[in-house]
């Protein structure tokens, strides 16, 4: 597995990141620990969890699995969501951040977190307060680097500007939803991340399972896509446009003798600006399938075909700016 540096940092991470949201729920503790160890044996070093996954159980399992290999692992977790039933039990205030990091460290059985991420923007807390608290955690040694997730482009740019103006640590990464069937980040976020050298570690790279080929055009009665609300709701995933994209994925899989999941992940791995897609697996069989996305190169013509099939419609101001783009001056 290839190793890449994360954003504007020297932090070396594997090209795939193992997501652990199902650990302790649909994935048993025994299978989860086995999965982490197999991931490490196959060259993976990047693990992503959050303090609210399975009410903290995911962090506990991850901590148990990596206790003896802690220095070899890049451990990412998150703060923001509701963890206690009182007014300060959620958000990214200094109070909630400092309380949450101590609880995560205890569950993870470690004295530091490699990548501490803001799970989603909090409109009630000034970003200056959040970044100062995170800067203090880095200074204290409890956190090595900071990242964010589920931000608008202006959220990220405001945060970076605040860090620069106050000499606080910067977000080195963002974790957005991004896949062949969810490319909203192409509007502004991806160009911002390239400009500011912010690493992109997408969640739901398989569209919540849609790109695995498991689903037909009939509304499912089981699985994540049977949800009525949320990003994996069938109303969002099971559209004709998405099925047209999947048809292109299936065609590519047939041509290259790969599975649809491997094609969807490989497309991301070869996309400029993407550091490490975060894949989740509830079973060891799914884990093995996803790991088959590395170690080979998708032909450029097939990659281009997938890119064209999934591209967003031409939109203002991108098409207006492109009309007046000037070529780079030659040396």
Residues carrying an active site annotation? 53
Would you tell me how many other CB atoms lie within 10 Å of the CB of residue 119? 19
Give the span between the Cα atoms of 207 and 179, in whole angstroms: 6
- Stated length of the chain: 331
Give the span between the Cα atoms of 25 and 60, in whole angstroms: 12
Nearest C-alpha neighbor of 245 from the set 215, 289, 201, 278: 215
Give the span between the Cα atoms of 146 and 161, in whole angstroms: 15
Task: Find tokens 């969501």 and name the residue.
Answer: 81
Residues 6+ apart with CB under 8 A from 94: 129, 130, 132, 133
Pairing assessment for the beta strands 143-149 and 113-118 based on DSSP bridges: parallel
Nearest C-alpha neighbor of 159 from the set 150, 148, 143, 175: 148
Evaluate whether 151 touches 203 at the Cβ level (below 8 Å).
no
Query: Rounded to whole angstroms, what are the CA distances from 194 to 8, 157, 191, 271?
Result: 10, 12, 5, 12
Give the span between the Cα atoms of 263 and 213, in whole angstroms: 11
Query: Rounded to whole angstroms, what are the CA distances from 20 to 33, 281, 292?
Result: 10, 8, 18
Residue 230 token pair: 């949320």
């Amino acid at each position: 597995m290839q190793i890449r540096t994360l954003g504007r940092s020297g932090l070396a991470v594997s090209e795939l990141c193992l997501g652990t949201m199902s650990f302790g729920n649909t994935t048993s503790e025994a299978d989860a620990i086995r999965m982490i160890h197999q991931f490490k044996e196959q060259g993976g070093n990047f693990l992503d969890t959050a303090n609210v996954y399975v009410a903290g159980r995911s962090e506990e399992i991850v901590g148990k699995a990596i206790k003896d290999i802690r220095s070899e692992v890049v451990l990412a977790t998150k703060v923001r969501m509701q963890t206690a039933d009182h007014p300060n039990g959620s958000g990214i205030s200094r109070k909630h951040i400092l309380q949450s990091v101590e609880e995560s460290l205890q569950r993870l059985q470690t004295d530091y977190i490699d990548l501490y991420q803001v799970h989603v923007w909090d409109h009630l807390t000034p970003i200056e307060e959040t970044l100062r608290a995170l800067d203090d955690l880095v200074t204290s040694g409890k956190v090595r680097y900071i990242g964010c997730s589920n931000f608008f482009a202006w959220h990220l740019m405001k945060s970076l500007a605040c860090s620069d103006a106050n000499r606080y640590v910067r977000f080195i990464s963002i974790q957005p939803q991004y896949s062949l069937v969810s490319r909203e980040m192409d509007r502004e976020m991806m160009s911002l991340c390239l400009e500011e050298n912010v690493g992109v570690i997408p969640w739901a790279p398989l569209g919540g399972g849609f790109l695995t080929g498991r689903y037909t055009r009939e509304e499912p009665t089981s699985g994540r896509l049977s949800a009525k609300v949320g990003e994996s709701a069938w109303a969002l995933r099971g559209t004709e446009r998405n099925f047209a994209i999947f048809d292109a994925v299936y065609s590519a899989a047939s041509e290259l003798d790969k599975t649809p999941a491997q094609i969807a992940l490989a497309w991301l791995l070869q996309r400029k600006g993407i550091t490490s897609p975060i894949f989740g697996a509830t079973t060891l069989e799914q884990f093995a399938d996803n790991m088959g996305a590395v170690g080979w190169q998708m032909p450029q013509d097939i990659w281009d075909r997938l890119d064209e099939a999934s591209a967003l419609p031409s939109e203002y101001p991108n098409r207006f700016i492109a009309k007046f783009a000037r070529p780079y001056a030659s040396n």
